[in-house]
Amino acid sequence: MAIISYHTQAELLLKNYMLSDSLVVYSSVICGIFACKMVYSLSQMITVACFKGYPNLSKAQQVEWNNRSISTVHAIFITAMALHIAFWSDLFSDHLSGLITFRSSTLSTCVLGVSVGYFIADLGMMIWFYPTLGGMEYVVHHLLSMIAITYAMLTGEGQLYTFMVLVSEATTPSVNLRWYLDVAGMKKTKAYVINGVVMFSAWMVARILLFIYMFYHVYIHYNQVKEMHRSAVFLVLVVPLVLAILNLMWFGKIVMGLKKTLAKRD
């Protein structure tokens, strides 16, 4: 009976696009969008003052520079919050009663809302300046991420696995720093090599090993996963799988790039 009640509740929530406390959802999404705009503007002002080469960059490079500032700030925020909520808090502890696939809190919903706001803003910029900020694989990545996060935010289902996937954003700062160093003409410096090693290590942990752990967690908790709505089960199983494939493709490029960089220094 409890499971049937959960299903009915989730369907009603998704149908009406709101939680009982809709203010948390909508305000957090709006805050996420406005935060992106604020970071973009601050990036322009700070970079002009601190990096003399910024005015010499092309318009497309200036847009990408500030856009990467947004993704870096979001990555730091969401990684810290995802680690806290998924692994360090008691929200998804096996010692608590109830299905972990239906657990959520005001904080977890708010954090997901901020992330949805970021993906809306970033996807909008990506489409507006396409393909300057990334090709179709990045558009697919953002669309899938936004759909999965939005569903978890609105229904409260599968939030644990959503946060596990969001920990993968831990790789974003090093990826962005690599681009910054390249544009700033520091590709042959020691900092570039060190950042490449950090990026390789972070990607291995956050986008390869963590995804393997997540799939294993889904496997051993599948009796709880299958009690979610069919849409949630699909998102938990398929979206991470697609993202994992993209991660492996990008990881291959990182490995090749790191090999070339290290070979040039020998």
pLDDT of 138 over the 90 cut? no
Q: How confident is the model at residue 5 (pLDDT cuts 50, 70, 90)?
A: low
> Do residues 32 and 115 make contact, with C-beta atoms less than 8 angstroms apart?
yes
* Whole-angstrom distance, CA of residue 15 vs CA of residue 140: 24
Residue 240 near residue 221 (C-beta atoms within 8 A):
no
Q: How confident is the model at residue 258 (pLDDT cuts 50, 70, 90)?
A: confident
pLDDT at residue 260, rounded to an integer: 82
Confidence of residue 198 (pLDDT cuts 50, 70, 90): very high
Give Cβ neighbours of residue 218 (< 8 Å, ≥ 6 apart): 161, 225, 236, 237
- CA nearest to 167, candidates 124, 230, 217, 98: 217
pLDDT of residue 3: 54
Cis, peptide link before residue 240, omega less than 30° from 0:
no
Start-to-end CA span in the chain (Å): 66
Residue % of the chain over a pLDDT of 90:
74
Does the pLDDT at position 67 exceed 50?
yes
pLDDT tens-place string over residues 9-44? 555 555 454 444 678 889 999 999 999 999 999 999
Residue 216 has pLDDT above 70, yes or no: yes
pTM of the model: 0.88
What is the reported pLDDT for 11? Answer: 54
- 68-92 pLDDT, tens per residue? 999 999 999 999 999 999 999 999 9
Q: Where are the domains of the chain?
A: 2-265
pLDDT at 19: 47
- 100 contacts 160 by C-beta, under 8 angstroms: yes
